[in-house]
């Protein structure tokens, strides 16, 4: 357990390498979780909580919380939580809505693992925001569909392109419809990628007020650690043949076997590299890591992992590459997948970017490539924050994230209201 826990300190919660940790950790953490009995003696650590996110993580702290459902145009039924106000009622009637979008292989609960004084949704609620927490398709509370079952391959026929075309628009329409107000957005990791891609296509921007992008990933080609390279190669090259259209469930055996084979590659030392890959998170509470282990990781689709790996390898932000000119032609009318041109993001959109000096996934060189796309952005609409000691997970679970990041996000949003 010590080994697993140690390596977890260096864990990213929102990128595909956390799969590696997850698989290493599944057995020990099951036992550990049981002994701790966080969710009560009857439940194992890896079983999803029976109650939704509101009941398990929000109302227990004295906040109001609503469980809601949004159906995407392609039929996925997504769960959404709303924390309409803070603990102290201030009589304010019209609150500013803010939508919070997690990264890959985790779900909305990942924002709620720290105590109320330290987690982003509750800090926003206590600052007068009307808080909405999204849960991406395929994660435990977003696994229903109007006509497909999650054990059918077709249920998993999507990549982050579909999050851009369907998930985000559905949730934005819903929140906008309910509140009648333009939305502030906070994304982490994949939650930044899908937002940037959407904005570049001119989507969502009419319903959006400002966006805060934490640990932004768009360009990933500098994530050049050995295991990263091996994994990305594998995902692009072989995984489709191996898994087909399927669920990518880090808690199940096929993914475990995959991990073992990746770790057996020459020069890949999974224990050491976990830290090196995801960055050395400075500021995680070990109790929060325990909670994380009980609640994450969550599934995504194999196709999404492949698409993310393509981004690592090709260094461009583009749609899913079917790997064959005729397939791409059929799908896009072009032999190569169309790019998301980030230069087309409206220059007057207020954007806050926060990135860390220890973040191996959102590597500084890649962030520089991203920032280059904002060269011509209105200067008073762009705010960039660099936190030297922060790695990927510190942005969602860091003990001091309130002081370092969240207060800045709140101030940025308020400045642009
Ligand atoms: C997967 O979805 C794409 C469109 O997004 C479609 O062209 C393709 O036929 C689907 N594949 C399967 C096996 O259903
Ligand atoms: C870590 O989390 C536990 C459980 O929420 C809490 O009791 C403890 O005070 C936290 N430690 C710090 C340094 O915030
Ligand atoms: C992206 O958009 C910018 C500005 O609209 C344009 O100048 C540039 O040529 C585009 N790049 C690509 C690769 O299409």
> φ and ψ at 310, to 5 degrees?
-60, -35
Note down pLDDT in tens along the chain; length 417 residues: 232 332 322 223 233 333 333 333 322 222 222 222 222 233 333 444 567 999 999 999 999 999 999 999 999 999 999 999 999 877 777 899 999 999 988 899 999 999 999 999 999 999 999 999 999 999 999 999 999 999 999 999 999 999 999 999 999 999 999 999 999 999 999 999 999 999 999 989 999 999 999 999 888 877 655 556 667 766 665 566 666 778 888 777 777 777 777 777 766 655 533 454 566 788 888 888 778 777 877 889 989 988 988 887 777 899 999 888 999 999 999 999 999 999 999 999 999 999 999 887 788 888 999 999 999 999 999 999 999 999 888 999 999 999 999 999 999 999 998
Domain assignment of residue 9, yes or no: yes
Of the residues 126, 359, 363, 394, which is catalytic?
359
Atom of ligand 1 nearest to the CA of 161: 5
What pLDDT, on the 0 to 100 scale, is given for residue 15?
34
DSSP at 130: E
- Write out pLDDT tens, residues 212-225: 999 998 888 776 55
Q: Exposure of 77 by Cβ count < 10 A (0-12 exposed, 13-18 middle, 19+ buried)?
A: middle
Check pocket membership of 344 for ligand 3, CB cut-off 6 A. Answer: yes
Nearest to 204 by CA among 217, 194, 214: 194
Q: What residues have CB less than 8 Å from 326, skipping those under 6 apart? A: none
Domain presence at residue 61: no
Q: Is 107 a catalytic residue?
A: no
Distances (CA, A) of 205 to 198, 199, 305, 319, 377: 8, 6, 27, 20, 15
In a domain, 235, yes or no: yes
| Pairing of β 129-134 and β 183-188 | unpaired
Cis check for the bond before 297: say yes or no (omega within 30 of 0): yes
- Number of folded domains in the chain? 1
Task: Give residue 318's domain range.
Answer: 2-31+222-279+296-331
Catalytically annotated residue among 189, 210, 215, 354: 189
Asked if the structure places residue 243 within a domain, the reply is: yes
Could you read off the pLDDT of 12-48 as tens digits, one per residue? Answer: 323 333 333 333 332 222 222 222 222 223 333 344 4
265 lies in some domain: yes
CB 17 within 8 A of CB 106: no
Question: Given the structure tokens 């206590």, which residue do they identify?
Answer: 126
**159 catalytic, yes or no?**
no
Instruction: Tell how far the Cα of 290 is from the centroid of ligand 2, in angstroms.
Output: 12
Do residues 128 and 90 make contact, with C-beta atoms less than 8 angstroms apart? yes
Q: What are phi and psi of 312, to 5 degrees?
A: -65, -45
Residue 351 is classified by DSSP as E
Domain for residue 246, yes or no?
yes
Residue 243 Cα, ligand 1 centroid: separation in angstroms? 15
In tens, the pLDDT along 375-405 reads: 999 999 999 999 999 988 899 999 999 999 9
pLDDT, residue 286, reads 81
DSSP state of 336: S
Helix %, strand %, coil % for the chain, to 5?
A: 45, 15, 40
What is the distance between the alpha carbons of residues 89 and 192, in angstroms, rounded to a whole number?
31
Angle among Cα 5, 11, 17 to the nearest 5 degrees reads 120
Say what the pLDDT of residue 42 is: 32
Nearest CA to ligand 1 atom 2: 157
Q: Residue 384 forms beta bridges with which residues?
A: 353
Alpha carbons 292 and 212: distance in angstroms, whole number = 23
Does some domain include residue 258? yes
Q: Is residue 65 part of a domain?
A: no
Q: How high is the pLDDT of residue 46? A: 40
């Amino acid at each position: 357990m010590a080994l697993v826990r140690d390596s977890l300190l260096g864990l990213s919660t929102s990128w595909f390498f956390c799969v590696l940790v997850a698989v290493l950790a599944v057995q020990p953490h099951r036992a550990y979780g049981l002994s701790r009995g966080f969710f009560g003696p009857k439940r194992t650590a890896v079983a999803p909580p029976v109650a939704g996110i509101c009941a398990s993580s929000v109302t227990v702290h004295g906040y109001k919380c609503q469980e809601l459902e949004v159906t995407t145009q392609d039929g996925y039924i997504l769960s959404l939580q709303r924390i309409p106000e803070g603990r102290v009622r201030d009589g304010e009637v019209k609150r500013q809505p803010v939508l919070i979008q997690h990264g890959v292989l985790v779900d909305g609960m990942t924002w709620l693992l720290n105590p109320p004084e330290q987690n982003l949704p509750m800090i926003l609620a206590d600052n007068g925001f009307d808080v909405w927490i999204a849960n991406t398709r395929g994660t435990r509370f977003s696994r229903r569909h109007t006509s497909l079952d999650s054990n059918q391959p077709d249920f998993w026929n999507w990549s982050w392109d579909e999050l851009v075309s369907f998930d985000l628009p559905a949730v934005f329409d819903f929140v906008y419809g309910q509140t009648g107000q333009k939305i502030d957005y906070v994304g982490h990791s994949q939650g930044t990628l899908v937002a940037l891609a959407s904005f570049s296509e001119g989507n969502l921007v009419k319903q959006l007020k400002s966006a805060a992008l934490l640990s932004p990933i768009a360009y990933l080609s500098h994530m050049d650690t050995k295991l990263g390279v091996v994994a990305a190669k594998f995902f692009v090259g072989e995984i489709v043949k191996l898994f087909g259209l399927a669920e990518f469930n880090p808690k199940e055996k096929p993914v475990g076997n995959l991990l073992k084979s990746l770790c057996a590659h020459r020069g890949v030392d999974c224990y050491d590299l976990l830290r090196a890959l995801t960055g050395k998170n400075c500021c995680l509470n070990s109790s929060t890591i325990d909670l994380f282990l009980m609640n994450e990781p969550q599934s995504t689709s194999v196709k999404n992992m492949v698409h993310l790996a393509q981004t690592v390898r090709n260094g461009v932000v583009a749609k899913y590459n079917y790997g064959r000119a005729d397939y791409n032609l059929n799908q896009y009318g072009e032999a190569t997948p169309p790019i998301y041109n980030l230069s087309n993001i409206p220059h007057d959109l207020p954007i806050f970017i926060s990135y860390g000096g220890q973040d191996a996934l959102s590597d500084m060189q890649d962030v520089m490539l991203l920032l280059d796309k904002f060269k011509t952005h209105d200067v008073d609409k762009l705010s960039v924050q660099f936190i030297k000691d922060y790695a990927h997970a510190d942005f969602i679970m860091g003990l001091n994230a309130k002081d370092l990041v969240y207060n800045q996000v709140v101030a940025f949003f308020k400045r642009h209201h």
